[in-house]
Structures are given as structure tokens and as C-alpha cells.
Amino acid sequence: MRFAPDHPETASSGGGRPRLNLLFSSSWREGVPTAELPRLLDPMGVRCLEARCGRDAARIVEREQVHIALVDLEMPMEASGDRRPAGHQVLQLLRRVDPAPPVVLVRPPQASRRESARGLNDALREGVFAVLDRPLGLEPMLETLRRVVRRHYADRWPAA
């Protein structure tokens, strides 16, 4: 994301409070670049809300206003125990939030171009802002988040 920390739209609001909440699924999968998000985005006023499983995501959505969600389809339902993928349930939960945050979907590599195109069309029809395929690169992920801020928030952090 190309925002200067001292730019009025990216600086934290009074008292050092962040202006944008980013829900992301991360460290249940080792070696993914989402683990770097808090360190990279905190100085710009982005509060990273980490969900290690679907249950964590549900708790976060209940307690916090989410401005952007980065959801891995294969995120497990439970941090330990129930390893069934919870990504679709998290997407359904986020669609019921008012206002629904823009969602960036992370999916596993697709078996064929046809399957990839079908999955992309399905996700976009369901209102997902963008779809990123694993392996996930840090630069494409940050660029996608920048596009979300530009499109949904007119290059400004959402009002508190």
C-alpha cells in the first residue's frame, strides 16, 4: 500500500487510535505473508484483527467493526480440533454485517483454468471484491488492499 504515514488520511486518529480495522486469517498456515501485516500496516493506522480459525473470526465480527476482510477459504473451523474449512461460513457471516465490509478471498491453487474461472465468477457474484490464489505474495496482497481502500473508501480511512 502506498500511503505516507504522515498523510492526514493515513495517520492514526487522536490518541493514536487506528482508523481502519482489517480482519485477516493467518498464522494457522505457516509461512504466509499475512503474518507480516500487523508490522507493516500498524504505522499507517490499520488495526489488524487476526483470526486463526472460523470461531475467532465470528467473535471478532461480533465485537468489532470490520472495514476490510481478508479471508482464506481453507481457514479451519477451530484452532484445534475441528479442521473443516470455515471460509464459506465466514463469508456468509460477513455478508450479514451492516454495512458489509469488502472481502478479499484467498483460495488454494486451482486444478484447471476452467475451475479457476468458475470459482472466480462465483466469488464475484457473491460480492467478493477480489480473489487471490495461493501461494500468496506480499506485494499483490498489499496492492489489492490498496485498491479496496481506493474503491470503497475513496482513498480515505473510514470514519470512526
| Pick from 160, 130, 135: nearest CA to 148 | 130
Query: Could you report how far apart the first and last alpha carbons of the chain are, in Å?
Result: 21
| Highest averaged pLDDT of the listed ranges 13-17, 32-36, 46-50, 131-135 | 46-50
Query: 94 and 103 in contact (C-beta within 8 Å)?
Result: yes
What CATH number is given for 14-153 in this structure?
A: 3.40.50.2300
Mean pLDDT of all residues belonging to the chain: 83
C-alpha distances in Å from residue 154, one per residue of 36, 92, 147, 158? 25, 25, 10, 9
Would the pTM of this model clear 0.95, i.e. be above it? no
Where in the chain are the domains? 14-153
Give yes or no for residue 130 having a pLDDT over 50.
Answer: yes
Contact 52, 63 (CB under 8 A): no
Within 8 A by CB and 6+ apart from 62, the residues are: none
